[in-house]
Amino acid sequence: MEIKTFLDTKYRQYATPNFLADDPIQIPHQFSKKQDIEIAGLFAALFAWGQRKTIINKSHDLLARMDHAPFEFVTTSTPKDLKALKSFAHRTFNEDDVAGIVLALRAVYVNFGTLEKLFIHPKDETDLKNGLHQFKQFFVDAGILKRTERHLPDPFAGSAAKRVNMYLRWMVRKDAVDFGLWQNISPALLSCPLDVHSGRVARSLGLLKRTQNDWKSVEELNQSLREFDSADPVKYDFALFGLGVYEGFGVD
């Protein structure tokens, strides 16, 4: 079967509401307010490494500490309110990392009203590399701890930026799973969230030759996927991820 036809079939198979049951994108789907979706989605995406069940549970834990009102917590919490984050931990995330991101997010909403603005960069004509760098730099300038910076990837440092590219997919694309919340970024500029699963499948299908999962590999995979659908290349993330996680495709 032709690869494009195969991947289109797998996209339709996996990009359904059933996908929400096991995926961290279920976290922002709990909300209807734009800012709540943005904030809940960002934390769920940043927590997204390791077992998905743990990622989902830790996201629920954090939102419970925010009284399930993330936008209100971000914009109005006092130092006393921030004590609700005490002892929070997920892998290398701790309460200080979360508190710093919360305070930086407050600056985002005071200045821009939406996280979308952080990713829009005039030089981004083929991908969002500059926007991803700009996103991280805002948080650095807002005063997050040095240790927290490792949780915000930068493609200029070679990172594949898997978690933030996944977050962008959630916010920009629109289908039965992704929100299509942001209207000022074209889905054509999105990059595939490259991880061990999608990378293995992409290499097995001949879509990616580079062996490292870094930004250069993201660019190579972008080029391959855009040959199949230049307007919406990252819909194939569902196919690559589903084939890798649920079907074990490409495992020797």
Contacts of 114 (CB under 8 A, 6+ apart): 34, 35, 38, 108, 182
- Round to whole Å and give the CA distance between 153 and 163: 8
- Round to whole Å and give the CA distance between 238 and 252: 21
- Round to whole Å and give the CA distance between 89 and 19: 26
Contacts of 58 (CB under 8 A, 6+ apart): 47, 90
Res 250 pLDDT > 90: no
Q: 């997920």: which residue's tokens?
A: 90
Residue 10 CA neighbour count, 13 Å, CB half:
23
Report pLDDT digits (tens) over 88-117: 999 999 999 999 999 999 999 999 999 999
Contacts of 157 (CB under 8 A, 6+ apart): none
Quick one: which of 9, 24, 8, 12 has its CA closest to 170?
24
Distances (CA, A) of 123 to 27, 138, 156, 205: 32, 17, 14, 32
Domain ranges of the chain: 3-245
Report pLDDT digits (tens) over 170-201: 999 999 999 999 999 999 999 999 999 999 99
pLDDT of 103: 97
Q: Chain-wide mean pLDDT for the chain?
A: 97
